Homo-oligomer: A and B are copies of this chain.
Amino acid sequence: MSVVMRQPLRPGGAADTQAVAEPRPASGGVRRLSAHAVDAACLRAIARALDGVPMRIELWNGASADASASPAATVRIGDRATLLHLAADPDVAFGEGYRAGRIEVDGDLVGMLAAIVRKQVGAGRRSPALVRALRAARNTLARARRNVAHHYDLGNDFYRLWLDREMVYTCAYFPTPEATLEAAQVAKMDLVARKLALRPGEVVFEAGCGWGSLALHLARQYGVHVRAWNVSHEQTGWARERAAREGLSDRVEFVEDDYRHMTGHCDAFVSVGMLEHVGRPHYAALADTIDRTLDRTGGRGLLHFIGRNAPAPTGRWIARRIFPGTHIPSLGEAVAGVLEPHTLAVVDVENLQPHYARTLAHWLSRFRAVEDEVTRRFGEPFTRMWRLYLAEAQAGFLGGNLQLFQVTFARPTRPALRWTRAELYGEAPTL
């Protein structure tokens, strides 16, 4: 272990950590730990838990501990309550403390968080709290609407400050690492369209359509008719205006309703970035929706979602502040829960993990560039909370805890979509 304790642990005290933890008589005659000894013990416990992560932890009183020999970031803890909270419940305490400005991070925030993720993932740490978390993801129609409103109805103007021109709030696809975010979001939409082998005149249903960029792109570039569902009032309104402005209202219909109410018939079913909000208890309802609407002979579809390596609960701070009602599934959960109940065949799974890390790097840097404006409108805690959320998400992908799965599926009796995947990338025989 490379935890290095640094002076002063208590005013004038020595760096000998064994010594500081010694109990001594309290004023009331009861033997208890001094406050300073508690601080030092907490500091040491935190640094030990983070052993190997290139970071220093520094207390309000100047005491510090290094979790590795070469710290690249310093976490400054502003008061004793925050320190105790952090030792007891690190996930929530770090988020809340950072949000409130009682925790500051100097240096490489994302790099530090990614190192923590890597350490946890490398240890194969599995959470015991899965069952509780799954229960929490019971999204009734009303709660689903509230949960979505919590995040997506912050105001279109807020997202317009830092998203790309197309307002795409899901993982982009960078043909080369140097591609711009704008180009990469368009490339992602084209990748989805190519995977689905769309033909002009076909009908596409989209579940959870954000600001409508994909629906509009598919109608404009691939000549399909799209009906797109979304429970966010803010987003649906924006999308409808855009469709009218671009003369696409006759080919793209935006429906403000829950995916469970989807009706009609489609040739292709697509959902980008919605499965995370469905919650595992409702996968059967999504499966039924797909089965009910998808063409029985030629039907195919694509699910694009953030995934995990194994079933696990959502981080509690993220679930409380950022995405209530969310459940990030493992690939096994998603396939078994959404596709297998109606024997839909998995055609292809692509993991775009490095692309989401890159997307989030773009978002975080754009967000930081407009933080003054965000703070003016929403206040400092909001800005800090969002900065941390974007950094934690990026760290989750960099550190190997989060994956981005694009799952292409089809009715099992449908002829193959293509002979080989080479067709998606260059010259190759087509069926």
Q: A330-B336, A419-B354, A429-B177 are in contact. Are A309 and B345 (CB under 8 A)?
A: yes
Q: A340-B309, A413-B122 are in contact. Are A350 and B348 (CB under 8 A)?
A: yes
Q: Is B400 within 8 A of A412, CB to CB? A: yes
A108 to chain B minimum Cβ distance, whole angstroms, is 18
- A window 272-289: CB within 8 A of B: none
Closest to A407 in B: B349
Contacts of A326 in B (CB 8 A): none
A114 to chain B minimum Cβ distance, whole angstroms, is 10
Q: Give the interface centre of A341, A343, A399, A426 by most chain B CB atoms within 10 Å.
A: A343
Closest to A414 in B: B400
* A93 interface residue (CB < 8 Å to B): no
Q: A331-B335, A332-B336, A425-B421 are in contact. Are A403 and B346 (CB under 8 A)?
A: yes
* A171 interface residue (CB < 8 Å to B): no
- A window 326-368: CB within 8 A of B: 330-333, 335-336, 339-351, 353-354
A349 to chain B minimum Cβ distance, whole angstroms, is 4
- Within 8 Å by CB of A343, from B126, B333, B412, lies B126
Contacts of A424 in B (CB 8 A): 421, 425
Chain A 88-122 against B: per-residue CB contact (8 Å), 1 yes, 0 no? 00000000000000000000000000000010011
- A window 385-430: CB within 8 A of B: 399-401, 403, 405, 411-414, 416, 419-422, 424-426, 428-429
Q: Is B332 within 8 A of A412, CB to CB? A: no
Q: Give the interface centre of A121, A175, A351, A429 by most chain B CB atoms within 10 Å.
A: A351
Copies of this chain held together in the complex = 2
Contacts of A177 in B (CB 8 A): 419, 429
**Alpha-carbon gap, A425 to B428, bound state (A):** 9
* A296 interface residue (CB < 8 Å to B): yes
Contacts of A420 in B (CB 8 A): 173-175, 425
**Alpha-carbon gap, A339 to B346, bound state (A):** 17
**Alpha-carbon gap, A363 to B57, bound state (A):** 65
**Alpha-carbon gap, A310 to B340, bound state (A):** 5
Q: Is B340 within 8 A of A311, CB to CB? A: yes
* A176 interface residue (CB < 8 Å to B): yes
Contacts A345-B353, A400-B411, A422-B426 known; list 6 others, CB within 8 Å. A124-B343, A177-B429, A309-B339, A309-B346, A310-B340, A346-B403
- 19 CB < 8 A contacts A-B: A121-B413, A122-B412, A122-B413, A126-B343, A176-B429, A309-B339, A310-B340, A310-B341, A331-B346, A332-B332, A332-B336, A332-B340, A333-B336, A345-B400, A346-B351, A354-B419, A421-B421, A421-B424, A425-B426
Spell out A's residues near B (CB within 8 Å).
118, 121-122, 124, 126, 173-177, 296, 309-311, 330-333, 335-336, 339-351, 353-354, 399-401, 403, 405, 411-414, 416, 419-422, 424-426, 428-429
Top 10 nearest A-B pairs (CB, nearest first) are: A332-B336, A400-B412, A349-B349, A309-B343, A310-B340, A332-B335, A422-B425, A400-B413, A425-B425, A426-B426
